[in-house]
Amino acid sequence: MKVGPIVPALRDRGAQVELVHTGQHYDQTMSGGFFTELGIAEPDVNLEVGSGTHAEQTAGVLIAFESYLAEREVDAVVVVGDVNSTIACAMAAVKLHVPVAHVEAGLRSRDWTMPEEVNRVLTDRISRWLFTTSADADENLAAEGVPAEWVHLVGNVMIDTLLSNIDRARERGDKVRERLGLDGAYGLMTLHRPSNVDEAASLRALLGVLGEIAADVPLLFPAHPRTASQLREFGVELPDAVRVIEPLGYLDFIGLMDRAAIVLTDSGGVQEETSVLGVPCLTLRENTERPVTCDLGTNQLVGTDPDAILRAAKAALDSPTAPAQIPLWDGQAAGRIAEVLVGDLAA
């Protein structure tokens, strides 16, 4: 969803681009299907790294991407987000003296138990171009001593993808609701953060309060493979009104989200998408690296206390929301990124 708009924007401005898929996300539903759904050309290279511990995965990408770079003349490497592939590719590039552009730079949760926070901070520290989604990210980078001329507030490429596909997503959402037999209000939930799903007691407590919310509005739960595995391992049974469904492709998920009465999540991207769609979102975490979705969007950071979650859910269901107006989240972020990169490399 992040790379999709960037590649054509660069090519439209005359850049020669190769798309490298590290293979960190190797499941067809979780990764491969996005290329087809979003009309992205198949990757030029697939490093096929696969799964493993954080160290194994990062090392695998680092080794494979270094070999890839060693065989080519590359002017710049563009990395997105905060996954293990992001920091691994950035490290491989800078050690071969290839400058790095980081898309979604400057996001900070300040929670060092999150592997994503480690990846974000380290990638920003070694990147030459830092493309940010909101002003708070610029402020974070300035506080860390990043030269102002390296930082570019461009908007959110996730929203580029959302806005360019929303009509198709709504059509797909209608079909999914028909297939699932949904003819009234419903909520949508996602859980996958280790802090929420790796401890049996925490997971049971969350599912308990979600069951109470589901008594007011049924909840759909596209179960992330990680979460589904933990549910089986812990022997946790879901409340009756929480309906588990298979993981969804991007368009199906956005189509369901667009019509949801409420979304409960621990995902970063969902906080952004619900804000633009005007859907109430409760983030089941103690922190967020996307505070703009709380300040200007439809997101509320509610933590994991069951009573607080239940109160916030009841209030959100009783209060209509409107789509957020977040500066530069207008579907043009990829073009701004391409203008800067192509201009600087041509200089």
Strand order in 262-265's β-sheet? 242-245, 219-222, 187-189, 262-265, 281-283, 299-301
List pLDDT tens digits, range 56-86: 999 999 999 999 999 999 999 999 999 999 9
192 is catalytic: yes
User: How far apart are alpha carbons 277 and 254 in whole angstroms?
Assistant: 9
Q: What residues contact residue 211 under an 8 Å CB cut-off, 6+ apart? A: 238, 239, 240, 241, 242
pLDDT given for residue 156 in this prediction: 98
Q: What residues contact residue 188 under an 8 Å CB cut-off, 6+ apart? A: 219, 220, 222, 256, 257, 260, 262, 263, 264
Low-confidence ranges of the chain (pLDDT < 70): 24-32
> What is the set of domains in the chain, with CATH numbers?
3-155+329-346 (3.40.50.2000), 165-318 (3.40.50.2000)
User: How far apart are alpha carbons 292 and 17 in whole angstroms?
Assistant: 32
User: How far apart are alpha carbons 296 and 290 in whole angstroms?
Assistant: 11
pLDDT given for residue 31 in this prediction: 55
pLDDT given for residue 146 in this prediction: 98
* Residue 316: CB atoms within 10 Å: 23
List pLDDT tens digits, range 243-298: 999 889 999 999 999 999 999 999 999 999 999 999 999 999 999 999 999 999 99
Q: Of 21, 25, 97, 192, which is the active-site residue?
A: 192
User: How far apart are alpha carbons 276 and 298 in whole angstroms?
Assistant: 8
User: How far apart are alpha carbons 225 and 228 in whole angstroms?
Assistant: 5
Q: Which pTM does this prediction carry?
A: 0.93
Buried b / exposed e along 250-284 (16+ C-beta atoms within 10 A): bbbbbbbbbbbbbbbbbbbbbbbbbbbbebbbbbb
